[in-house]
Structure formats: C-alpha cells, structure tokens
Amino acid sequence: MPEPKQISLPIEGMSCASCVGRVDRALNAIDGVEDVSVNLASETARMSVDALKRIPDIIESLRELGYPARKARAELTIAAMSCASCVGRVDKALAAVPGVVEVNVNLASETATVVYVEGLVTTSDLIESSGAAGYPATVATAQAGDDRVARKEEEAQALAKRVTFAAILALPVFLIEMGGHVIPAVHMLIETTIGQQTSWLLQFVLTTIVLFGPGRTFYTKGFPALFRGAPDMNSLVAVGTGAAYLYSVVATFVPSVLPDTLRTVYFEAAAVIVVLILLGRFLEARAKGRTGAAIQKLLGLQARTARVMRDGESVEIEIDALVQGDIVIVRPGERIAVDGEVIEGTSRVDESMLTGEPIPAEKGAGDTVTGGTVNSAGSLQFLATRVGADTTLAQIIRMVEEAQGAKLPIQGLVDRITLWFVPAVMAIAAATVLVWLFFGPDPALTMALVAGVSVLIIACPCAMGLATPTSIMVGTGRAAEMGVLFRKGDALQQLDSVDVVALDKTGTVTEGRPALTDLVLAEGFDRPTTLSKIAAVESLSE
C-alpha cells in the first residue's frame, strides 16, 4: 500500500468558522483524503492523500464549493520544439505535474503558460518535467520578448548560411543524378567521362557533407526522440533521409548484396530533402522573429530613464529603479516614464497612443499622466503612483502578449491530432514498405523504399501546428500596430461571425494627428491666398 502523502493547499474566500467547516466536510468526503486540518488564520488546508492523482478532484471540489485553491501563473521559455507534436508532448508533460491546473504551449512564441496551485508546484518542478520530456525550459524574464526576437534573428542568419552551404553541395548531386531525366545526353556524358561509379562516389562525398554538416541536427535530435518513443518532425526527416542514404551507400560500396536491377542510388533525394527542410526552418525562424514586432513597438513606447528628485537633487535613474512615491521631473519633448499625478507645472501631453485623440491634453496639478505618453510643451513634476508591471502601458503589453499566446478552440483539436500524427505517419510508412515489398512490381525493394521515404518526408505536421499560433501572433500584432488591442486571442476566431462593429468615440478611429479636410471661405476671400497664409502660419507651429 503506498505511503500517504501530506499536502497543503492555500484556499481563498474563507471568512469565518462556518467556511472552515464547509471546506473540512467537503475535503473529508473525497475518497483517499484523510487527516484534514483547515486553518482560517493562515487560509490553508493540510491533508493526507493516498495518491497525488487525487489532487485534481480536491481542486475541483473546492472550486465547486466556492473556496478555490489559490493559483499562480508561470511563463516558461521552451527550447527544442520543432513541430506540433512537440507542443503536445510538452503540454502533456507539464499537465502531468500534480497541482497544474492549466497549460498553454505556443509553438510560434516557443513559450508555455502554466497555471498551478500555489504550494503544490514550483517553477523548478515545471522545468524538470519539461526537461525530462526532452524540451529544456527556463523561466521567461521581462526581457524574454527581446531575447526571443534576437535569438530568432540569430537562428535565421545561421540557418541561411546552412541552407546556402547545403544547396551549393546538393545542386551538383541533383544535376548529376537527375539531369539525365531532362537532358538524356547528361547520363551519356557522365558514362563516357568520369563513369557511373565515380559519379556515385562524388555524390556520396557531397551528400555525406550535407547530411552530417548542415543537416546533422535532424539526426542528433530525431533519433533520440525516436528512441524515447516520442518521434517528432526531426525523426521523420532522420529516418527518411537516413534510409535513402544507407541504401545508396550499400549500392555504392557493397553492390554485390543487391540484385543488378536494384543497384541504384538516392543520394540526391536525401540531400535535396535536407535542403528543403532547412529552407522551411529558415522561413519559420524568420517568421517567428517578425511576429514579435508589435510587442517591440509597444516596448519602444517605454522610457528607459527618468529624472527624479532624490535628497533634494534632480538625478537621472534607470526606469527599473523607480518606486511608487518618487517625484518625477518631465521636460518638454520627453516621454513620461510611469503613471502618476501632477503636483507642479502645466503642460500639454500627447496621449494619442492611448486615446487616439490628436490634440494634446492640458495637464496641471491634480491631473493624471500615463507612462508612454509624450510631454509636448512645458515642464511637469508628478508623483509616481504606478510603476513597473502596474503601469497602464505595461498592462497593455501584457494583454497583447496574453492574447498572442492564447490557445484558440480550434488549436486544441489540432494539438490532439498532431500528438499522434508522427507515430501514425511512421506506422503508415512501415505498412507502405511492406505492401510494396509483397505486392509491388519489380524492382519491389526499390519501389518500397521510395514509397516509404516519400510518406515520411511529405507528412510534415509543422504547418498544421504553426498555422494557428502564428496567425494569432501576426493578427494581434498587426492590430496592435494599428491601435486595436485584443484582450483574448479567441476573439480573432469569432471575428468571421461579426456583422456590426460599435465604436465608443471618434478618437478610436483617428490617426492621432489633425488634418485639414474642408475649407469654407467667407465672402470676399480668395482660396489660394487664404491657403497660403494658413500654410505660412502652420509652418511655424510645433
């Protein structure tokens, strides 16, 4: 019989002894739960459970009772995810940690958002679980967006070099082997000059460099994943190209083991497939980097430094060093660092980034100012009331990030499919080989190999897994650039059924700057003369 495990849950909503009694009775009524002790002062419940699998039942029972367990949220940066199947495995590994309530893994942003019960789970547990599944994880920092964009740019540059190098080597292989199908004289030229065996040796050398140089990551990641019983896209490429390569090596160096009709090579298939998959990875990395452009633009609205009063003197400090209650000095033309209340000075502040209104708002003592807006004229001193993650701009950025990382209803279906997609493809490929071997025309082995490799290579689940998250990121990102913010990603999925859009004010749809649209002249005024005088005055305006 397993040893009972002691757990402690923080509980919200308890306000009196009656609440304690209800929680106590509800927990004692759950099978496998014993020795319940509910503490109103610390708002916790301690108990013994016969198995950690009881935790979901406990959490659900408390929720239905109206006293939910206190939850926390963690965002992890996940490495080594290459396809939708990886998303499913990371999701499954994190969800299996006792105390995890909700998991959302995003392939496009390479992140995982995990909601868990405080006290039962730590970020170390989540990192360990993801790492054990083969996907190293770290806690996302405030600079994670910047780091991710920079990392993807570096990755895209590195992949561009690998694609170019692989393509240069694969092109001769492709032309030597396939050129004769377009121009029959090519095969004759090869036979009469270097000979078939020499051409095969040349293809072997070039393809070996391609596979174990630019394409080595497919094998260093694909085969370990396959041996763990969790094959991914890398496994498909590794098995497919590896089969074509090994068959060709046998035909080149040990031809006697094959019938004469089966002595042919497929070096060009292995080399070209690696080049094409690398090209796809390059395009994917570049697209992932660009999806963060909206967040970067919003981050660009944040001031980097602020001038504050310290010990009676004005000093410039980093924005992260600002604390609530600091007196901040803003000069004309400077960006306001954080949210606050004006205590001295008058000015006009451009709040178009927030309200869409083109005319700067008058600000004086007692008025509120928002971080990220621009002080147009005059000097202000204000009391910092919200700093760091509590500012309006920080909340907007966080809202856009959460919308970009949201899992749409349709994505749940995709994830369930792709989790079994790669194993199913490998099973179908094996069945294809067997069918061609026993029922296919001669040369049966060659035809079986080609058919099996074809199934492995064309069945790439990357597009299926990337389509929805990338669409969300690009859609919400582009909308943010245009001043439209989505609180939830699933609002995008529902837009196709929207017939009417209601706007609360004209500022919502303005461009943030005034423009002359009409000119109605009084009696006795000339249009060209009047316009020229208006333009002369406007040219001297700020």
Give the three-class secondary structure for 260: helix
Higher pLDDT, 430 or 479: 430
Intrachain domains 5-65 and 71-140 with the same fold = yes
The topology (CATH level 3) of 71-140 is: Alpha-Beta Plaits (3.30.70)
At 503-540, the pLDDT tens digits run: 776 656 666 567 778 888 888 888 888 888 888 887 76
Q: What angle do CA 221, 162, 269 make, to 5 degrees?
A: 75
**């204000």: which residue's tokens?**
382
- Beta-carbon contacts of 197 under 8 Å, excluding residues fewer than 6 positions away, are 252
Can you spell out the DSSP letters for 392-453? Answer: HHHHHHHHHHHHHT---HHHHHHHHHHHTHHHHHHHHHHHHHHHHHHHSPSSHHHHHHHHHH
In terms of residues, how long is the chain? 542
At 78-123, the pLDDT tens digits run: 888 877 678 888 988 999 898 898 898 887 778 888 999 888 888 8
At 218-277, the pLDDT tens digits run: 898 888 878 877 777 778 788 888 888 988 898 889 887 766 766 778 888 889 888 888
**CA–CA distance, 474 with 468 (Å, rounded to integer):** 10
**CA–CA distance, 65 with 26 (Å, rounded to integer):** 8
3-state SS of 125-175? Answer: HHHHHHHHCCCCEEECCCCHHHHHHHHHHHHHHHHHHHHHHHHHHHHHHHH
- Beta-carbon contacts of 260 under 8 Å, excluding residues fewer than 6 positions away, are none
5-65 under CATH 3.40.50.740, yes or no: no
Correct CATH for 305-390 of 3.90.550.10, 2.60.120.10, 2.70.150.10, 3.40.50.12280: 2.70.150.10
**CA–CA distance, 451 with 8 (Å, rounded to integer):** 57
Residue 382: per-residue pLDDT: 93
At 432-453, the pLDDT tens digits run: 989 998 888 877 777 787 788 7
At 396-412, the pLDDT tens digits run: 777 776 666 666 666 66
- Beta-carbon contacts of 326 under 8 Å, excluding residues fewer than 6 positions away, are 306, 308, 309, 383, 384, 387
Give the strand pairing for 327-330 and 313-318. Answer: unpaired
**CA–CA distance, 98 with 525 (Å, rounded to integer):** 80
At 48-60, the pLDDT tens digits run: 888 888 888 898 8
Active site residue 504: yes
Residue 209: per-residue pLDDT: 95
CA 269 to chain centre: 32
Q: Where residue 175 falls among pLDDT bands split at 50, 70, 90?
A: confident
Selecting among 496, 499, 504, 518, the annotated active-site residue is 504
Residue spans of the domains in the chain: they are 5-65, 71-140, 305-390
**């392939």: which residue's tokens?**
107
Residue 170: per-residue pLDDT: 93
The reported pTM is: 0.61
Take residue 495 and report the two structure tokens written for it: 């837009």
48 bridge partner residues: 6, 34
Give the strand pairing for 368-369 and 137-139. Answer: unpaired
